[in-house]
Amino acid sequence: MSTTHDSPINLAQIERNFREIAPPLTEAEAIMESHRCVYCYDAPCTRACPTHIDVPAFIKKIASGNLTGSARVIFEANPIGASCARVCPVDVLCEGACVEKTLMAKPIEIGRLQRYATDAVFTRGRDVLKAGAPNGKSIGIVGSGPAGLSCATYLARLGYAVRIYERKPLAGGMDTYGMAEYKMTQRVSQEEVAQVARLGVEIKTNTEIGRDIQLDELESQHDAVFLGVGLGATSRLNIPGEQLEGVYDALDFIERIKTRDWASIPIGRTVAVIGAGNTAIDAVTQARRLGAKRVLMIYRRTDREMPAYEYEYELAKRDAVEFWWQTAPVEIVAGADGTRAAALRCVRTEAVETDDAGRRSFRTIAGSEFEIPVDMVIKALGQQKMVDWLLQIAKLKLDAAGRVAVNPETMQTANPKFFAGGDCVNGGREAVDAAQAGKLAAQGIHLHLSGERVEFAGARVPLHEETSEIKH
């Protein structure tokens, strides 16, 4: 790939474009905001959080000046609570459920308060989690993403010797290599990784299971194994021209942005991003920030069907992205040199038959082909499942969509020694879901190996009281 500065804008401008989209709260803001929270009982925000963090408790601890206690409440329910504070889709989770949204159309800024508390302990170098007394058992974890880090944290708190295997040079999974740079930098994910390491968890990076260490060796070294391998590479377009220069995989493109080495990141003048999920949005918004003049989002359906969240779509609109709905790519066309992408050939699509659930399907319209001149194409069609790798594990069962089948309470797979969670089980959701899965798996592993049931903070929706019948 090119190592020269391709962008029409200067580096200082790029640096400014990648400023944090949600800056930290000042002390004055944190005081005001934490007092605005009404301290709900059986709080809707806590129910809506996939890790069921006791939100009112941590917010009131900010109000009382107990920041250490506040961060402890957060990390006890979610070991990657600092990342989640920045990358969670709060509009559809905690903040979407906040009573202040109902009352004032202005929910409490739960994400930013969560960041305020977790930043405070990281800055002061204060440890809020403790490892348990060693119990002599050893667990291997494949993958250091949100699922693996979370599982490792709880297991270390229970006294297990935990070793994480990670094929990449840095731990953290997609928190390190995938998050939009304006939401979160690698520093935050590395602080969380360090917090896990301080619990005594051994993290072996640059170590791929199946290549550097074989699966049977892994299995023989540990009493149980947790699979937090996430998803694989971006799906192929399967159209001619995919191999041309100037065609990128969204994940590779984003991974290069994470280095913040702006000059080394390739960027075109006109960039077409294919797909309309959250990753596609991250690709278009970041391509814009790198200096692309025109950014096009190519999608075969319409905005009604697009999988991206509403507020992510809004973000793309604010960045003046052009949306090409009902447009399907059929070929990436090379320029005169025969090696570089110069245009995207597309066809128009039309909606056909609506099924009972209101879902429409789209078919191409014959003879509607046209070309858009572009000098960069980013494929953002979603990630493949790691089916082949997973099927090397004896007795492991996958569902029809290639997801690892587990008991939803214990996260145990069909092979009793193996547990799994995160994107490889749910097919690709949010970091916070992976954190919760890691917690449940730690509980499941402990039950399997010791027969003892433990319940960590937020393992279930807290059910305070049963509803009761009232006589009138």
Partner 1 sequence: MADLKVNFAGIESPNPFWLASAPPTNMGSMVERAFDAGWGGAVWKTLGEPIRNVCSRLASIDQGPQRMLGLNNIELITDRSLEVNLKEIRECKRKYPKHALIISLMVESKREAWHEIAKQVEDTGADGVELNFGCPHGMSERGMGAAMGQVPEYTCMVTEWVKEATRLPVIVKLTPNVTNITPPGRAAVRGGADAVSLINTINSVMGVDLDTLVPYPNVNGMAAHGGYCGPAVKPIALNMVSELARDAEVNVPISGIGGIGTWRDAAEFLLLGATTVQVCTAVMHYGYRIVEDMIDGLSNYLDDKGFHSVNDIIGLSVPRVTDWGNLDLNYKTVARIDHQKCIQCNLCHIACEDGAHQCIPFTEIDGKRFPIVDEHECVGCNLCYLVCPVPGCISMVRLDDGSRPLTWRELTTREPETMTAD
Ligand X SMILES: Cc1cc2nc3c(=O)[nH]c(=O)nc-3n(C[C@H](O)[C@H](O)[C@H](O)COP(=O)(O)OP(=O)(O)OC[C@H]3O[C@@H](n4cnc5c(N)ncnc54)[C@H](O)[C@@H]3O)c2cc1C
- CB atoms under 10 Å from CB of 117, counted, come to 28
Does 129 contact partner 1 by CB under 8 A?
no
Most distant CA pair in the chain, distance = 83
Cβ at position 110, least distance to ligand SF4 in Å: 5
**Residue 98 binding: pick among ligand SF4, ligand X, partner 1, none (C-beta 5-8 Å cut-off by kind):** ligand SF4
Contacting residues for 14 by C-beta, under 8 A, at least 6 apart: 7, 262, 289, 290, 291
Which of residues 131 and 152 has its CB atom nearest to partner 1 in the complex?
A: 131
Site residues for ligand SF4 per CB under 6 A: 37-40, 43-45, 55-56, 59, 98-100, 108, 110
Which of residues 43 and 296 has its CB atom nearest to partner 1 in the complex?
A: 43
> In a 3-state reduction of DSSP, which class is residue 327?
strand
Does 463 contact partner 1 by CB under 8 A?
no
CA quadruple 183, 21, 90, 153: dihedral sign: positive
Contacting residues for 318 by C-beta, under 8 A, at least 6 apart: none
Which of residues 62 and 344 has its CB atom nearest to ligand SF4 in the complex?
A: 62
Cβ at position 61, least distance to partner 1 in Å: 5
Which of residues 344 and 420 has its CB atom nearest to ligand X in the complex?
A: 420
- Would you give the binding string for partner 1 spanning residues 71-90, x where CB under 8 A is met? -x------------------
For the chain, how many residues are written? 472
**Residue 422 binding: pick among ligand SF4, ligand X, partner 1, none (C-beta 5-8 Å cut-off by kind):** ligand X
Beta bridge mates, 350: 363
Rounded to an integer, what distance in angstroms lies between the CA atom of residue 230 and that of residue 201? 20
What does the angle CA 257 – CA 263 – CA 267 come to, to the nearest 5 degrees? 65
**Residue 43 binding: pick among ligand SF4, partner 1, ligand X, none (C-beta 5-8 Å cut-off by kind):** ligand SF4
Cα Rg of the chain (Å, integer): 23
Which of residues 106 and 198 has its CB atom nearest to ligand SF4 in the complex?
A: 106
Which of residues 108 and 374 has its CB atom nearest to ligand SF4 in the complex?
A: 108
Cβ at position 44, least distance to ligand SF4 in Å: 5
Q: Are 173 and 190 in contact (CB under 8 A)?
A: no
- Would you give the binding string for partner 1 spanning residues 41-70, x where CB under 8 A is met? x---------------x--xx-xxxx-xx-
Q: Are 444 and 409 in contact (CB under 8 A)?
A: yes
Rounded to an integer, what distance in angstroms lies between the CA atom of residue 108 and that of residue 94? 9
Rounded to an integer, what distance in angstroms lies between the CA atom of residue 266 and that of residue 5? 8
Which of residues 230 and 291 has its CB atom nearest to ligand X in the complex?
A: 230
Report 7-46 residues binding partner 1 (CB under 8 A): 27-28, 31, 35-36, 39, 41
Residue with tokens 């305020």, as numbered in its chain: 116
Binding site for partner 1 (CB under 8 A): 27-28, 31, 35-36, 39, 41, 57, 60-61, 63-66, 68-69, 72
